[in-house]
Amino acid sequence: MPGQVGIGVIGAGTISDTYLENLTGFADTDVLAIGDIFPEAAKEKAAKYDVATSGDVAVVLDHPGVEIVVNLTIPAAHAEVASQVIAAGKHVWNEKPLALDRVSGQSLLRDAEAAGLLVGCAPDTFLGEGLQAACRLTEQGMIGTPLTALALLQLPGPESWHPNPAFLYAVGAGPLFDIGPYYLTAVAQVFGPVSSVAALGSKARERRVIGSGPKAGEEFDVMVPSHVSSLVQYESGQSAQAIFSFDSALPRTLLEVNGTEATMLFPDPNYFDGDIAIRRRDRDEWEKVATTTAKSSRGTGVLDMARALREGRPHRAQGLLAYHVLDTMITITESVESRAFVEVASSVDKPPLLPEDWDPLERTL
């Protein structure tokens, strides 16, 4: 089938605005329908972004023009909604994490493969110009041979700004599952697949308070560790130290890759742009080597998937990669419980970098 790829969105919440802005702006994608368990929420977004059809989940699943469904529901619903999409004969893009457990992640990938359908999954920030440029420079040898990485995300917690933050402290989220995918996917693009992990976890508070929106002041339970400190061993022999925390008064993010010749400061993996700097072995100052501008933001991976579908090639932010990241995060949780190194069973190939002249806004289909 030639031409633009028809897109449906399920889940008309906070992050849907960014996706809808981008997916309605790309020349190669056409957003045809929005659905939500609260049809009113879907109708509101449809009016805002001039999308013709809106309502419940079925309006998206039954829409004949929708080829890829973008699943922006909460983590607990990701696997179930994605399975409904595959059963409806459509390709699916999930927000992260792919699923909450290995069994549902595996069965989603298996069912999709059997039906000849694609599974894509966030994050797609590693397709942003920031991380792509850092990976290109690393592949070109700017820091010598990459050896180790330090990944750090520490915040006081998202309940200060998110109006419905309870899910961010439930199974499937916490700093590890909510933020970990950005860092673990970015490092996978440099080091490849993980072979084993060890980790410690803790909780600063059993209950937290909603800081904004109509429910401000209400308390909710913290169901998962809100601080996770992990050691990650890659199949290649490279290693990383990764800390994910909602228990720090000091907000700080960092992704550094140490090579034999220099250390590279990567852009924040939660964004699509940023500066890149290196510190050479023989110099005692940072040297800025690139300033990057985002060509697009969330939805970039959906666009790559849409183009791949028409071009008959693999897309980059694949379900298999997201499954490996999910498997790594579940294994980190198991290590927190067992207090031992635990092997990561799955593996994945590094996705190829985007061409340097890749243009998300160009009409190619």
Residues that bind ligand NAD (CB under 6 A): 10-16, 36-38, 41, 57, 72-75, 77, 81, 95, 164, 178
The nearer residue to ligand NAD, 97 or 146, going by C-beta atoms, is 97
- Our CB check for ligand NAD shows the closer of 20 and 133 to be 20
Q: How far is the CB of 49 from ligand NAD (least distance, A)?
A: 15
Residue nearest to ligand NAD (CB): 13
To ligand NAD, the closest distance from the beta carbon of 315 in angstroms equals 19
Kindly list the distances between the CA atom of residue 230 and the CA atoms of 188, 258, 318, in Å, as whole numbers in the listed order: 15, 17, 24
Whole-number minimum distance, CB 238 to ligand NAD, in Å? 27
The candidate with the shortest Cα–Cα distance to 255, out of 245, 236, 238, 269, is 269
Closest to 150 measured CA to CA, from 254, 246, 288: 254
Residue whose CB is less far from ligand NAD, 14 or 291: 14
Count other C-beta atoms under 10 Å from residue 300's C-beta: 28
Distance CA 263, CA 283 (A): 11
Of residues 84 and 335, the one with the C-beta less far from ligand NAD: 84
* Token reading at 149: 């990485």
CB nearer to ligand NAD: give 65 or 158.
158
Question: Strand pairing partners for 245?
Answer: 154, 227
Q: How far is the CB of 185 from ligand NAD (least distance, A)?
A: 13
Instruction: Compute φ and ψ for 321, nearest 5 degrees.
Output: -65, -45
CA 3 – CA 362 distance, rounded (Å): 13
Where are any strands of DSSP class E within the chain? 5-10, 29-35, 53-55, 68-71, 91-94, 119-121, 146-154, 194-202, 207-209, 219-221, 227-234, 239-245, 252-259, 262-265, 274-280, 287-292, 342-343
Closest to ligand NAD by CB, 38 vs 286, is: 38
CB of 115 to ligand NAD, least distance (A): 21
CB of 248 to ligand NAD, least distance (A): 19
Considering the complex, state which of residue 39 and residue 314 has its C-beta at the smaller distance from ligand NAD.
Answer: 39
**Structural contact between residues 269 and 186, judged by C-beta atoms closer than 8 angstroms:** yes
Q: Which is nearer to ligand NAD, 146 or 316 (CB)?
A: 316
CB of 287 to ligand NAD, least distance (A): 32
CB of 22 to ligand NAD, least distance (A): 13
* Beta carbon of residue 80, minimum distance to ligand NAD (angstroms, whole number): 6
Report the residue number, 59 or 77, with the smaller CB distance to ligand NAD: 77
Residues in the chain: 365
The two beta strands, 91-94 and 68-71, are parallel
Residue 201, Ramachandran bin (φ over 0: left; ψ between -120 and 50: alpha; else beta): beta
Other C-beta atoms closer than 10 Å to the C-beta of 260 total 11
Q: Find the helix packing angle between 129-139 and 174-191, rounded to 10°.
A: 40
